[in-house]
């Protein structure tokens, strides 16, 4: 990795790096030749940039499952610990396969994490049994994520303008089809889709049921969203052709999406804050939608609890954070109270826990 000459720190992403990341966020498995054509550079340049940055840990492409498509429920969890126990508890949480976005927050005694459960009735194993009984855990608060205003396949880089709208459109895949009951059980060779009876379009789609091979596929994509087809075939037991069809089917169903996990420092972000807002119910939808448009917001969602609107906010420094809180946030309608909590250490992002990787601040939540 390049360095900027200051204590050996990695050099910030340049314009081409940002355009490449935006392209990968738009389509994480797009061929380098297609990306190169949009960026106006050679295939070799794109391949070199990608290989260098992925090898250094500056960014990586992940293939992730959309929890709502699987009928899963997400919980934003805040765990209060004794000071000397917070890091071990956070590491234990990060190692769990049903968690993501695990961080130590201000003061070093609070852990923030996202936990997933098969349904709201199956959340007790971690939230009601294990965490409260963990030594040195003095409090647990869990807020069910009701609605996502910004997040998932959308990222901070999507708001950056690194690619023009026309360039992003050239790379964008077709929008997901409405999942149909026929595809809830996934025969890997099936690539046909049904949009359902027009009279039933308002009904919630049935959750998609993943096979064991699908789950192995997602485990591999969580480590490397651009893993070669031969490698994915080896872990699933399918042929490369079947893998290609299944990837297309899962993406068309809205189950699979691609995300770029990158080092925030290389984008110039020095401060990440968890923002909890209490909003008048009549203003919640409008306020959440307005919040989602802010360039500082990496994630925004409506939750249960007295603080019913959550956002992950990224700023260059504390001065920029103060300006943001006293201008854009202050202008939001219906906000009654605000709580902000800076992140001091990042342990896990959207993908699997990499205990050997440096604890660099990562993108988004």
Q: DSSP for 107-137? A: GGSEEEEEEEESSGGG-HIIIIIITTTSTTE
Based on its alpha-carbon atoms, the radius of gyration of the chain, rounded to whole angstroms, reads 21
Q: Where are the domains of the chain?
A: 15-62+154-172
Residue-wise pLDDT tens digits, 117-143:
886 555 556 555 667 677 788 888 999
158-205 residue pLDDT tens: 998 999 999 999 999 888 874 433 333 344 433 333 334 444 455 667
Task: Calculate mean pLDDT across residues 104-128.
Answer: 77
Q: Which residues of 261-279 are buried (b: 16+ CB within 10 A; e: fewer)?
A: bbbbbbbebebbbbbbbbb
Helix (H, G, I), strand (E, B) or coil at 355: coil
In this prediction, residue 136 carries a pLDDT of: 85
Question: Which class would CATH give 15-62+154-172?
Answer: mainly alpha
CB 89 within 8 A of CB 136: yes
Residue among 141, 94, 161, 160 at smallest CA distance from 274: 141
Work out the pLDDT band at 353, boundaries 50, 70, 90. Answer: confident
CA distance 74 to 67: 7
The pLDDT assigned to 278 comes to 98
Cβ neighbours of residue 308 under 8 Å, at least 6 residues apart? 277, 278, 279, 281, 284, 302
CA distance 333 to 331: 6
pLDDT for 301-332, tens place per residue? Answer: 999 999 999 999 999 999 999 999 999 999 99
Quickly state the pLDDT bin for 108 (edges 50, 70, 90).
confident
For residue 145, the cross-strand partners are 303
pTM above 0.75, yes or no: yes
């Amino acid at each position: 990795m390049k360095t900027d000459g200051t204590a050996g720190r990695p050099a910030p992403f340049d314009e081409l790096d940002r355009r490449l990341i935006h392209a990968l966020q738009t389509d994480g498995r797009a061929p380098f030749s297609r990306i190169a054509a949009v960026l106006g550079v050679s295939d070799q340049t794109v391949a070199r940039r990608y290989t260098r940055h992925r090898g250094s840990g500056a960014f990586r492409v992940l293939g992730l499952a959309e929890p709502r498509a699987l009928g899963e429920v997400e919980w934003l969890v805040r765990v209060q610990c004794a000071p000397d126990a917070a890091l071990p508890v956070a590491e234990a949480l990060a190692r769990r396969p049903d968690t993501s976005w695990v961080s130590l927050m201000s003061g070093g005694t609070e852990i923030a994490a996202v936990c997933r459960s098969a349904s709201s009735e199956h959340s007790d194993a971690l939230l009601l049994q294990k965490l409260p009984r963990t030594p040195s855990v003095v409090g647990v608060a869990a807020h069910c994520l009701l609605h996502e205003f910004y997040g998932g396949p959308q990222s901070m880089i999507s708001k950056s303008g690194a690619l023009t709208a026309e360039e992003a459109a050239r790379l964008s895949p077709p929008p997901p089809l409405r999942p149909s009951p026929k595809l809830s059980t996934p025969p890997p060779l099936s690539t046909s889709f049904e949009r359902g009876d027009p009279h039933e379009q308002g009904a919630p789609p049935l959750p998609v049921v993943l096979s064991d091979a699908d789950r192995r596929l997602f485990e591999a994509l969580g480590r490397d969203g651009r893993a070669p087809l031969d490698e994915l075939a080896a872990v699933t037991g399918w042929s490369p052709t079947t893998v290609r069809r299944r990837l297309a089917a899962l993406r068309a169903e809205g189950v699979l999406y691609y995300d770029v996990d990158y080092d925030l420092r290389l984008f110039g972000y020095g401060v990440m804050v968890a923002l909890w807002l209490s909003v008048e119910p009549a203003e919640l939808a409008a306020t959440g939608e307005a919040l989602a448009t802010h360039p500082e917001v990496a994630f925004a969602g409506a939750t249960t609890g007295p603080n019913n609107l959550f956002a992950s906010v990224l700023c260059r420094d504390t001065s920029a954070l103060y300006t943001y809180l006293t201008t854009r946030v202050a202008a939001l309608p219906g906000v009654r109270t605000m709580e902000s909590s800076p992140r001091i250490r990042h342990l896990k992002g959207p993908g699997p826990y990499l205990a050997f990787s440096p604890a660099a601040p990562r993108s988004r939540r």
